[in-house]
Amino acid sequence: MSGWLPKSPKARRRLTLLAAIAPVLALAVGLTLWGLSDSISFFYTPSQADAAKPPVGRSIQLGGLVETGSVVKHPDGRVEFTVRDSRAADKVVFQGDLPDLFREGQGIVATGSYRQDGVFQAKQVLAKHDERYMPREVSKALKEQGEWRGDGAKPAYAVPGKSPVT
């Protein structure tokens, strides 16, 4: 008998049972996390995405304000627009019907991924209906950047040659 095992047969049984269950439990947790890794979607504002540089093709959520004058609708149903925060802007391409509440100056969250050319290819676009309803991540990121307009304030930035979004 080894010196590190407990002397009590009951305690040895418990230790043996624990030694058998722990690797199985660790394997189950590892497989679960690996299986869920594709369904996890990270949220970024344009400046956060520039800093994090998410890999091409990884599904993320990009949120911010639709830049005034940036929306271009093509006859084939493709829509291009720019999403910006106070420090950065990203071009977004979306194929399909936009929500009724989508408009310039409006806060949106787009789900999709960056392409090789750096353009964000959206699979889904969600528009908030007013300043009181906004995903927590978007409002927190906009507040941190001085971009929050929930109280009717003007944005903290101005794009050269364009009037500020109201």
Overall average pLDDT of the 52-81 stretch: 92
pLDDT over 60 (residue 118): yes
CATH architecture of residue range(s) 42-144: Beta Barrel (2.40)
Residue 92: which residues within 8 A CB-CB, separation 6 or more? 62, 80, 81, 82, 83, 110, 112, 119, 120, 121, 122, 125
Q: How far is CA 38 from CA 48, 160, 163, in A?
A: 20, 39, 40
What pLDDT, on a 0 to 100 scale, did the predictor assign at position 138?
67
What's the rounded Cα separation, in Å, for the pair 110 and 94? 9
E-state strands within 9-161? 42-44, 60-66, 72-73, 78-84, 89-95, 107-114, 120-127
Q: How confident is the model at residue 127 (pLDDT cuts 50, 70, 90)?
A: confident
What's the rounded Cα separation, in Å, for the pair 93 and 15? 58
Tell me the domain boundaries of the chain: 8-39, 42-144
